[in-house]
Amino acid sequence: MIPRFALFFVTSLLLSAAALSAATIGTNPPAQPVTAERIAALPEAQRSAWQDYLARSQRQWQADQDFFQTELKAHAIKEVIAPPGGHNAGLPLDRSAAWYGEAEALRIADIVVSFQTPAGGWSKNLDMTRHARQPGEQFSGGDQSRFLTPTDNDLPHDPHWSYVGTFDNDATTTQMYFLAKVATAAGADRGAPYRAAILRGFGYIFASQFPNGGWPQVWPLAGGYHDTITYNDGAMIHVLELLRDAADGNGEFAFLPAAVRTRAARSLSYGLACLLATQVVVGGRHTVWCQQNDALTLVPASARNYEMPAQSSGESAEIVRFLMSLPDPNPKIVTAVHAAAAWFEKTALHDVAYRFTRGEGRRLVPAPGYGPIWARYYEIGTDRPLFGDRDKSIHDDVSEISPERRNGYAWYGDSPKRTLEHYAKWSKSHPAVPAPASNH
């Protein structure tokens, strides 16, 4: 549970710039990285685990860098090679079982293995269907914003070494699912290198899990909002789904050693505990989740300049669908799902649509009979829709932000609609857990 004082602190930050202009209600504060100084301020009982975690991350960061520099030296490479950009769409997970044993799938799987980082993860937004990684070829394309400024929340520590190992944009988990399918279809001998890569991938997941059960967006840690517990784009949920499948040991993960399956189950349990602990509580009532939470305090955190600490409808909808997929949810999970569904019902918008309008770009416009839809972000405590811009300003009217952000970001969506449709069936077999009787 996120402490009340923490929510008050976040809300105060958001509203501190309210007097700057009539159109601006706040300024987005930057997320805080995991540092030795912040760890030293933790209660004594928590420090040791976090100190070990930070040291492990720093060792891996150095090992990854050393691997690449040694490779450059060994091959006398003067200029590094940029990898081919793309997306995980080249790694299909919906083909027939037989396809994963065919030549094309095996070719792609070999490329996937070649791009696995020394730490055991993968980067994002790479085309892994073209060619195997060559000596001196970067593990990541960088994926830097075209709008970076010296004070940007997304400013990388090293523009030539970012997202080298991440869960963002379906990375790492997609590669592991794909390799598992190929390893199963390829058989014992041909599938051996793919199974080895999968085991290294699980090592990456276990090593990157925070002491409190969450996962960062990027590991080894990269600083800034990349260090936060990340639900954005399904990052942590996809890890939990993978761990659930691994712990079950069914289908493509039947080859996993018992020790790995046991550790996956334990890691899943810790992750679920963190997930429940980060559900926002307002006035004693559970609501939904934010996109990011501070790794050390669990306080809602910002991400990019225009992504403020706020309740997030889309990420929360995916979280609830995952919780409803669990075969034997405990009372805490059941309570969390019912509370989130109630919040979705409360905040739904009807008879409006977010559409392109002639000459004005995207706007929220009247649309009788349309909906429900939800704003992407809601202010904690008031459920007021929030909208951010690249200058870190926060607004309560989407028409007030710049055309570039208004037209280039999903400020409204209907993801909770599918979640509520599933909830209508799920709730019949999982009734709300009665609140404990009061002693007063």
Radius of gyration of the chain (CA): 22
Torsion of CA 7, 13, 14, 20, to 10 degrees: 160
Active site residue 133: no
The amino acid that residue 184 corresponds to is: T
Q: Sign of dihedral through CA atoms 410, 414, 420, 421?
A: negative
Torsion of CA 75, 81, 85, 89, to 10 degrees: 0
Burial per residue of 66-96, b for 16 or more beta-carbon CB atoms within 10 angstroms, e otherwise = eebeeeeeeeeeeeeeebeebebebbeeeee
Active site residue 232: no
From the list 29, 4, 39, the residue with the least C-alpha distance to 210 is 39
CB of 371 closer than 8 Å to CB of 350: yes
The amino acid that residue 303 corresponds to is: A
Q: Which of 133, 195, 304, 390 is catalytic?
A: 304
What is the rounded distance in angstroms from the CA atom of residue 346 to the CA atom of residue 313? 12
What is the rounded distance in angstroms from the CA atom of residue 49 to the CA atom of residue 68? 29
Q: Which of 28, 169, 232, 293 is catalytic?
A: 169
Task: Kindly list the catalytic residues.
Answer: 169, 304
